[in-house]
Structure 1
Amino acid sequence: MAVIGAGSMAREHLRAFADVPGVLLTGIHSRTRARAEALAAEFGISAVCDDIASLYAASKADLVVVTVTELSMAAVAKACFAFPWTILLEKPAGYDLADAVGIAEAAGAARARVHVALNRRHLSSTRTALDDLNAVPGPRFIHVQDQESMAQAAAIGHPETVVRNWMYANAVHMVDYLAVFGRGTVTSVTPVQPWDPERPGIVLAKVEFSSGDLALYEAVWNGPAPWACTVTTPARRWEMRPLEKAVFQNAGERMLNPAPLHPWDEAFKPGFRRQAELAVQVAGGGPSDGLPTLEDSLATMRLIAAIYGDEKHGGGNGSGKAAG
């Protein structure tokens, strides 16, 4: 496999892929060659390349992982689509919905095999809760709690365009839980407390699914709040707070029962080791087994647009119905 980018996220991916049996780390490309050379030395990567075409030729990779910045993702991803490798894009796959749509359209035109690194889908907490819930009948109520800050995003050096679209760059982590636990398709998104970009504060939205599942998305901007997800059924309630740990409560009981944490989520950035395993499996022609596709990512981006009333990008139609 090969990697594009040489920052901290690239290193976390390399750690995870290096642990998958049979994987060879054969190439790296970054606009900052010195950083690429440092990672190549650390992980024994044979080829440090100056462009994507050279990376494909030198690495002979079946899989490339793209870990570039939000504003660089579209151009780099589209350049990768010219070659017949499997592609894993770090999230977000687009700095806003229009950018995400453009990436998806280019991938479709090139018939590229593209997946997105929505790593929280691979947390052992998420997988344990989901496996259990799939065996529990009845409707689900999903409650997602999010906390965001444009000021913090700006303070750590993100460009103004990314800060302005921070719900796509960062809230994607939490909105994606609605797609993970909600069954069927989104039938409506109803703002309860709408997003006000001039005065970021509380955002509340009711999300309904064709299965009858109901969700509440709650975000606190510029204030204290957790990242948490709960899923309640008539028989059992699951809670992930922090997201890496899961507990469940049975009907008629007060006790919270902890689910075991997989060792991979302690040894590696949580979710990355399972994600790497699935990416290798897909690149070898095997089943995806839940590795999100670019279409899955785009569906979450559309849901973000609907929740945040992003009319200019097709996120809402004024009726409360989710777009696309």
Structure 2
Amino acid sequence: MNELNIAVIGAGKMGREHIKAFQAIEGVNVTGLLSRTLEKAHALAKEFNIPCVAQSVDELHQKSQADLVVVAVPELEANQVAKHCFQYQWAVLLEKPAGYDLKDAYDIAEAALTTNKPVYVGLNRRFYASAMTILDDLNSRQDDCRYIHIQDQQSYTEARACNHPEEVVQKFMYANSIHTIDLIRYFARGGVTKVVPILPWKKEETQIFMSYVEFDSGDKALYECIWKGPGPWACAVSTPHKRWTMQPLEQARYQNINERVVHDAALDDADRQYKAGFYKQAVEVCNGIRGLPSKAITINDSLKTMELIHQMYGV
């Protein structure tokens, strides 16, 4: 198996987690790092024995000899950095969201057409052992219709407290709800045919938002988000034979038909050792770069989730 070199742009929390995950894969080396804060980049490079700290994308590409660059920068910087990366002969993994709103996402996706290398987006919840276990089970009964129920929680106050720019705060469903809304598309089959608002979006006046979604496969989903008040991130998938739940999302439980007992699915060591989903996501991205079958999420697939967010929220 050919060796792969990985470069990372961004020395924050997400950049660190990507470095840990990729370094754990046999035959994969993190060979370069770039950050607008040079001191942080040098500290992270020393911690993880990364040989090159660059001061520009051009220098990073030249010195790292990377097959893949991971872009883990703040939302409002992602567009410019991504477009710069598309100019070079390496694959690109964009940390979510690939665009702080739908217009920005379209702009990035259009720019991605200029490269002949793969462009992926990091949506790590799809790579939770819990989510993958559920999908494998669902796919074993293709005739069963699926009903997905998502419980989300967001907050303008919390988003501002985390020092997100106001443009990101106003479109926080793209920055953060994308994780739970993407699970709808992950578990449901086919294309979206109907989106019905139940409790409408009223910007900062919204306490509870709710939307119903139908797919051409017959699968259905109900999404609810509490915008003022505490609440879990939770997902349930019901079929005639079995009901699966994820609460927290890292833990899968199921109940069979004609049973009242709830069973725990086995947890996964990789989701404990690394940020949940990151290791398996990194493996799939590497498979894609090597030309092997891959479940890595393409930018076009990610764009469909961004479009669904827009259909639901209307912003």
Instruction: State the secondary structure of the residue aligned to 2:189.
Output: coil
Quick one: distance in 2 between partners of 1:304 and 1:231? 20
Instruction: State the secondary structure of the residue aligned to 2:87.
Output: coil
Match runs of 1:135-150 below 5 Å: 135-136=140-141, 137-150=143-156
- TM-score with structure 1 length normalisation? 0.94
Instruction: State the secondary structure of the residue aligned to 1:71.
Output: helix
Match runs of 1:203-242 below 5 Å: 203-242=209-248
Quick one: distance in 1 between partners of 2:108 and 2:309? 17
Instruction: Detail structure 1 runs of 4+ shifted over 2 Å in the superposition.
Output: 109-112
- TM-score with structure 2 length normalisation? 0.97
> Which amino acid is the alignment partner of residue 299 of structure 1?
K
CA contact (8 A) 2:86 2:114 kept: no
Q: Displacement, 1:200?
A: 2.0
- Counterpart of 1:25 in structure 2 is 30
Q: Is there any run of 5+ residues in structure 1 with no aligned partner, and where?
A: 311-324
Q: Displacement, 1:111?
A: 3.4
- Counterpart of 1:309 in structure 2 is 314
1:202 aligns to 2:208 (yes or no): yes
Instruction: State the secondary structure of the residue aligned to 1:144.
Output: strand
Q: Displacement, 1:96?
A: 0.5
Match of 1:52 among 46, 50, 57: 57
CA contact (8 A) 1:3 1:64 kept: yes
CA contact (8 A) 1:194 1:309 kept: no
Q: Displacement, 1:108?
A: 1.2
Quick one: distance in 1 between partners of 2:268 and 2:205? 41
- Counterpart of 2:272 in structure 1 is 266
CA contact (8 A) 1:186 1:207 kept: yes
Q: Displacement, 1:264?
A: 0.2
Quick one: distance in 2 between partners of 1:42 and 1:278? 25
- Counterpart of 2:3 in structure 1 is none
Quick one: distance in 2 between partners of 1:70 and 1:102? 14
CA contact (8 A) 1:70 1:92 kept: yes
- Counterpart of 1:284 in structure 2 is 290
Instruction: State the secondary structure of the residue aligned to 1:3.
Output: strand
Q: What CA deviation, in whole Å up to 9, does each residue of 1:242-284 have, x standing for no partner?
A: 0000001001111111110111001110000101111111122
CA contact (8 A) 2:129 2:250 kept: yes
1:90 aligns to 2:95 (yes or no): yes
Instruction: State the secondary structure of the residue aligned to 1:249.
Output: strand
Quick one: distance in 1 between partners of 2:263 and 2:138? 15
Q: Is there any run of 5+ residues in structure 2 with no aligned partner, and where?
A: 1-5
- Counterpart of 1:130 in structure 2 is 135
Match of 1:73 among 71, 78, 91: 78
Quick one: distance in 2 between partners of 1:294 and 1:75? 16
> Which amino acid is the alignment partner of residue 86 of structure 1?
A
| RMSD of aligned Cα (Å) | 0.8
Quick one: distance in 2 between partners of 1:184 and 1:156? 36
Quick one: distance in 1 between partners of 2:62 and 2:114? 22
CA contact (8 A) 1:85 1:283 kept: no
CA contact (8 A) 2:8 2:71 kept: yes
Quick one: distance in 2 between partners of 1:285 and 1:32? 34
Instruction: State the secondary structure of the residue aligned to 1:276.
Output: helix
- Counterpart of 2:125 in structure 1 is 120
CA contact (8 A) 1:67 1:90 kept: yes
Quick one: distance in 1 between partners of 2:8 and 2:286? 13
Aligned length: 309
Q: What CA deviation, in whole Å up to 9, does each residue of 1:158-192 have, x standing for no partner?
A: 11111011010010011001110110001111101
